[in-house]
Chain A
Amino acid sequence: MAALPDQTRADMSADIQRTPDCPGGVTKAELRAAINAADDWADANAAAYNAALPAAARTALTARQKARVLEFVIRKRWEAA
Chain B
Amino acid sequence: MTTSRASLTPFSAELPTSNAPQLIVVNGRPCLGFDATTQETAYWSLMAPQGVDPSPLTISIAYMMASATTGGIALGVSVEAITDGDATDLDATTSFDTINTGTVASVPGTAGYIDVLTITLTNNDSLAAADYLRISVARVVADAADTATGDLYLLTADLRDDV
Does the CB pair A23–B147 fall under 8 Å? no
- What separation, in Å, do the CA atoms of A50 and B81 have in the docked complex? 64
Tell me the nearest residue of chain B to A13, going by C-beta.
Answer: B37
Q: Is the CB of A22 within 8 A of B35?
A: no
CA distance A26 to B71 in the complex (A): 7
Complex interface: chain A residues within 8 A of B36 (CB)? 14, 17, 22, 28
* Alpha-carbon distance between A22 and B151 when the two chains are bound, in angstroms: 9
User: When the two chains form the complex, which single residue of B65, B146, B147 contacts A24, counting CB atoms closer than 8 Å?
Assistant: B65
Say yes or no: is A20 at the interface (Cβ < 8 Å to chain B).
Answer: yes
Instruction: Type the 1/0 row for A9-20, where 1 means its CB is closer than 8 Å to any CB of B.
Output: 000011001101
Tell me which of B38, B68, B146, B150 has the highest count of chain A C-beta atoms within 10 A of its own C-beta. Answer: B150
CB pair B66–A27 under 8 Å, yes or no, is: no
Contact (Cβ within 8 A) B150 A27? no
Which residues from chain A contact B67 at a C-beta distance below 8 Å? 20-24
Question: CB-CB < 8 A to A28: which residues of B?
Answer: 36-37, 71, 146-149
| B134 → chain A closest CB, angstroms | 28
Question: How far in angstroms is the closest Cβ of chain B from A70?
Answer: 26
Interface size on B, residues (CB 8 A): 18
User: Is the C-beta of A46 less than 8 angstroms from some C-beta in chain B?
Assistant: no
Interface: A80 (CB within 8 A):
no
Expressed in whole angstroms, the Cα–Cα distance for A28 and B69 within the complex equals 12
Whether B70 is near chain A, meaning CB under 8 Å from some CB there, is: yes
Please, how many angstroms separate the alpha-carbon atoms of A38 and B20 in the complex? 32
Q: Shortest CB–CB separation between residue B114 and chain A, in angstroms?
A: 16
A-B contact pairs, 28 of them (CB 8 A): A14-B36, A14-B38, A17-B35, A17-B37, A17-B149, A18-B35, A18-B37, A18-B151, A22-B36, A22-B66, A22-B68, A22-B149, A22-B151, A23-B67, A24-B69, A24-B70, A24-B149, A24-B150, A25-B69, A25-B70, A26-B71, A27-B70, A27-B147, A28-B37, A28-B71, A28-B146, A28-B148, A28-B149
Closest 9 pairs between A and B when the two form their complex, measured CB to CB: A24-B67, A22-B150, A14-B37, A27-B147, A27-B71, A17-B36, A22-B67, A24-B68, A24-B69
